[in-house]
Amino acid sequence: MVQRVAVLFIVFLLIPGILPKLIVVCIAGILTAGWYSILQAQIYTQLVGRSGTEMTLGVLFFAFGGLAPMLIGILADAVGLDVAIWVLLLGPIALVIGIPRRGKAID
């Protein structure tokens, strides 16, 4: 699923015109609608009995995440928005790399 969204993001960056871009954004929104709640559930599953730890980590990463638009803006000012926007592709790539795969069924 993450790979599909990464491909959609690349399509979004490369496709000309506002209407096709809006269609791609709508499709990506539908594909990613449940991601936040699923990731939150995984965190609470891994930190059983330590919900305070999750809340603290959430606040810290929220603060860091708030800096991301500013950093992309600074990068866009230096190299141009068309180049800087590709940095956003790091999100889906990080998910592909960082989310452990569960055992697959044997055929």
Asked whether residue 40 is assigned to any structural domain, the reply reads yes
Asked whether residue 103 is assigned to any structural domain, the reply reads no
pLDDT band of residue 94 (cuts 50, 70, 90) is confident
Looking at the predicted structure, is the pLDDT value of residue 93 above 50? yes
Looking at the predicted structure, is the pLDDT value of residue 5 above 60? yes
Asked whether residue 105 is assigned to any structural domain, the reply reads no
Q: What pLDDT, on a 0 to 100 scale, did the predictor assign at position 103? A: 55
Asked whether residue 107 is assigned to any structural domain, the reply reads no
pLDDT band of residue 22 (cuts 50, 70, 90) is very high
CA atoms within 13 A on the CB side of 49: 0
Q: Which residues neighbour 97 within 8 Å (Cβ) at sequence distance 6 or greater?
A: none
Q: Domain residues for 76? A: 2-98
Q: In 3D, which of 21, 16, 58, 20 has the Cα closest to residue 39?
A: 58
Q: In 3D, which of 24, 16, 13, 28 has the Cα closest to residue 85?
A: 13
Total structural domains in the chain? 1
Question: CB neighbours (10 Å) of residue 9?
Answer: 20
pLDDT band of residue 105 (cuts 50, 70, 90) is very low
